[in-house]
Structure 1
Amino acid sequence: MSIPAESLTNPVVRAFVTALNAHDRSGFQAALAPDATMSDDGTDRDLRQWTEQEIFSSNGHMEVESETDDGLSLLARYSNDTWGDMRTRWRFTVQDGKVIRFETRQA
């Protein structure tokens, strides 16, 4: 059972997931603070390069299974053309209505 993006608790995380799934670059950037950072499996990555490779050029899609921490932590099935389908955890840090950091890893 999945949670539709429009039903996610945190409005900033909701905007992030909605833009990701729609491959909406401008909406995705609007959800992020200008100096946002991220990590993948515990290693900090260049956010712009990572999102291009793992989301936009590879048809990334997130199907949220559950959320905790007032919507700031997600358990999701993530798929893209590069890696296929995997179970992932996402943790968001939100400040002033923007994602300032997100961390993702295999679950």
Structure 2
Amino acid sequence: MTIAPNKLSDPAVRAFVSAVNAHDEEAFYGLLTPDATMSDDGSDRDLRVWADKEIFSSAGHMDVVTETQGGRGLVVNYRNDTWGEMRTAWKFTVTDGGRITRFETGQA
């Protein structure tokens, strides 16, 4: 069973998952601070290069299995056309204004 994106607790994370699943680059980047950073499996990556490869050019999709930390920690069945489906963990750092400054993902 998965959690529908519109049922996620944190508004910024809810919008992030919705933007990923809609492949909406404008909405995705609009949620991030200009200096936002990210890591994949513990290594910092170039956010725009990573997002293009892992989300937008490969039809990335997030099916949320669980949420923790007030909705800022997720376990997700993530799939894209490059890697297929995998269980991943996501952690988000969100400003008081509701924008994402960092996200971290990796194998769960």
Letter in 2 for 1:102: F
SS, match of residue 100 in structure 1: strand
Deviating beyond 4 angstroms after TM superposition, the runs of 4 or more aligned structure 1 residues are: none
1:19-38 matched pairs, under 5 angstroms:
19-38=19-38
User: With structure 2 as the length reference, what TM-score do the two structures score?
Assistant: 0.98
Letter in 2 for 1:46: D
| Rounded Cα–Cα distance in structure 1 between residues aligned with 2:82 and 2:57 | 9
Q: Percentage identity across aligned positions?
A: 60
CA-CA distance at 1:97 after TM superposition: 1.1
| Rounded Cα–Cα distance in structure 1 between residues aligned with 2:31 and 2:19 | 8
User: With structure 1 as the length reference, what TM-score do the two structures score?
Assistant: 0.99
Deviation per residue, 1:46-70 (Å, 9 max, x gap)? 0000000000000000000000000
Unpaired runs of 5+ residues, structure 2, are none
* C-alpha RMSD of the superposition: 0.4
Match status 1:41 vs 2:41: yes
In structure 2, the partner of 1:97 is 98
| Rounded Cα–Cα distance in structure 1 between residues aligned with 2:68 and 2:98 | 18
| Rounded Cα–Cα distance in structure 2 between residues aligned with 1:63 and 1:25 | 18
Letter in 1 for 2:11: P
CA-CA distance at 1:99 after TM superposition: 0.5
In structure 2, the partner of 1:78 is 78
Aligned residues: 107
In structure 2, the partner of 1:50 is 50
Unpaired runs of 5+ residues, structure 1, are none
